Amino acid sequence: FPIDVIALSNAKDFEGYVNVTNVALISGDNGGINISNLENWVVDTDYYDLAPDYTEVVIYTITIQDEEGETVQVTGTIKIVGVSEPPLVETVYEDSGEQILETPDPVEKIEIISGNCTGVTLVDKEVSINTDLYELPKNETVECVVEICYDDDCDEITTITITVIGVNDPPTADPFEKQYFENSGLFSIDVLDISNADDIDGDDTDVISVEFLSGDKRGIDTTTDPKNWTIDTSLYDLDPGDTVIVEYLVTIEDENGATVQINGTIKITGVSDEPTKGPTAVPTVHPTDGPTSSPIVDPTEVPTDSPTSTPTSLPTVQPTDGPTDTPSSAPSCKQLSQDQLVARELNECNVPISSDWDTYALVVEAEAWDMDHDSVTINIFTDDNHCANDGNEYPEKLGVVYTSCSNNATTCSYADYPECDSSTSLTVFCNQASVVDIEILMYSENTISSAAFFEVPNECKTLLPNDPSPSYADFCHFVYRVSCSPCNELTLNAPLSPTTFVPTSMPTSLPTDGPTDLPTAAVNNPPTAEDFEKTFTEDTGEFPIDVIA
């Protein structure tokens, strides 16, 4: 601010002009007052750093002289009053990185007053906010109020109100790859499901384009419904072991127009058109389908429409008009039920009593067998009884450890928990064993607690959190044993052994003599059981133990 000393002091002389000849400081801090021009001073209030309501008083003696050399002395006083610093306001956008906020002076201390101040820090006497730590829907805002001190004693304080504005986050998705054998059937792919498409803002996602990149796409339809592809493996004619690789570039978009691009790969592998295991190989059979032609007839069974009385002797010759061979389209064995083909061997769960989801709603079935490729297809879905009850919730994810049919390597397949009307299918390599074991992890959070009382399989280690916090989430650990043939009933706890298949045809003649002795009564064997031991960590909750299992 300028000060005109002659005008402010009303200096005048009736006989001529007057001027300031001398200015002397009497008291006060005059660091912010420039008197190099004795008649026109400049006061810089920014020089002063005063507590609110404190006044700095600067006093000068001023000598004023007229033309004749006559002088008069007056006192000039300048007062600087300290005030509270004005409040500050800043606006930043989510996901814009580290932002330094403007303050008039260096800041010595900060204190959070209210709001979501997760990203606010004091670095090198500057207030900064990391906007990447906020996740907000588009245009949604959060406020943070911070008190800042310009000195160590906080005599000079003010507040800064920071508003963070949400921006649209792009969706996320993972590249995917699916492999099929030629002539193995018609398959469909839900692109959003298999790619784990998601949007952190909660927006719906959609497939807006599928661009063909390379390969033989004759059997793949991506145009009818870009979200749901159809793969017809019968349209490929490949040599055994040859593989066709078809690649696409998939663009996924959220409701606000943000996109992500991923690669989708389909592999078709050629197989032999002729059986490779000789006449004893069992054809692919679905346990729920009946034979397509006349079933195998066991000539040792008594016909259901035979007389109730027992004949005195058995015929010595087989009737000449009976079948002599198994029909070519009939299954080569009696098809067994699911409870004879699949069994749960292990059940370890940590589910609080208050949990809303039923840990036993999972169903695992053997769906089909391919004896040429020594594999069994496993279908995992949700029990109908669970679906019938409104309001039931589901675990979020599945991790399934199995032996991949494509490379004979043990892997962990991650999938969403199959809700009603959906399922997850896996083709498991039997490796010449009569049964296979698959491990299943059900969990309701994104990761399983590192304090789980069971060992997470190595193939599923990515389920463990980086933070080794002992806090528990809901999870279950199962082991299911599945028969590698639709003809072989499971024997629980039996060792894995090479598969022995039943004959493909029945004997063509009956025994000539009946039994000479009555059968002896079966010996009743005692039940079997194993010692068990379970370890728990104190103060981790209440756990069920199924003693039979």
- Res 124: pLDDT: 92
Residue 314 scores a pLDDT above 70: no
Mean pLDDT, residues 298-327: 38
Residue 310 scores a pLDDT above 70: no
Q: Which CATH superfamily is domain 176-269 in?
A: Immunoglobulins (2.60.40.10)
Q: In this predicted model, which residue has the larger pLDDT, 427 or 537?
A: 427
- Res 35: pLDDT: 93
Residue 432 scores a pLDDT above 70: yes
- Res 261: pLDDT: 96
- Res 86: pLDDT: 81
Residue 220 scores a pLDDT above 90: yes
pLDDT digits (tens, 9 = 90+) for 489-510: 776 544 433 333 333 333 334 3
- Res 381: pLDDT: 84
Place of tokens 């949990």: 355
Mean pLDDT, residues 408-433: 82
Q: In this predicted model, which residue has the larger pLDDT, 213 or 70?
A: 213
8 A C-beta contact, residue 421 and residue 443:
no
- Res 388: pLDDT: 66
453: left (phi over 0), alpha (psi -120 to 50) or beta: alpha
Mean pLDDT, residues 5-17: 86
pLDDT digits (tens, 9 = 90+) for 394-409: 677 778 888 877 677 8
Choose the weakest-confidence range: 165-174, 290-299, 379-388, 498-507: 498-507
Q: In this predicted model, which residue has the larger pLDDT, 485 or 461?
A: 485
The verdict on pTM exceeding 0.75 is no
Best CA proximity match to 416, nearest among 404, 433, 399: 399
Which among 56-65, 436-445, 512-521, 534-543 has the top mean pLDDT?
56-65
Choose the weakest-confidence range: 155-169, 288-302, 518-532: 288-302
The distance between the two most distant Cα atoms of the chain, rounded to a whole number of Å, is 167
Best CA proximity match to 352, nearest among 214, 475, 510: 475
- Res 190: pLDDT: 95
- Res 326: pLDDT: 35
8 A C-beta contact, residue 265 and residue 288:
no
Which among 39-53, 97-111, 410-424 has the top mean pLDDT?
97-111
CATH C-level class of 88-165:
mainly beta
- Res 444: pLDDT: 65
pLDDT digits (tens, 9 = 90+) for 59-87: 999 999 988 888 999 999 999 988 777 88
CATH number of 2-81: 2.60.40
Residue 523 scores a pLDDT above 50: no
Residue 372: band (very low, low, confident or very high) from pLDDT cuts 50, 70, 90: confident
Query: Average model confidence (pLDDT) for the chain?
Result: 76
Q: What percent of the chain has pLDDT over 70?
A: 72
DSSP-assigned states of every residue in 341-374:
HEEEEEEEEE--TT-SB-TT-EEEEEEEEETTTT
CB atoms within 10 A of CB 142: 16
Residue ranges of E strands in 314-434 = 342-350, 362-370, 375-382, 397-403, 410-416, 423-429
Residue 133 scores a pLDDT above 60: yes
Q: What percent of the chain has pLDDT over 90?
A: 35
- Res 448: pLDDT: 67
- Res 420: pLDDT: 78
pLDDT digits (tens, 9 = 90+) for 235-294: 999 998 899 999 999 999 999 899 999 999 999 999 876 544 333 333 333 444 443 333
8 A C-beta contact, residue 178 and residue 155:
no
Question: Radius of gyration of the chain from Cα atoms?
Answer: 43
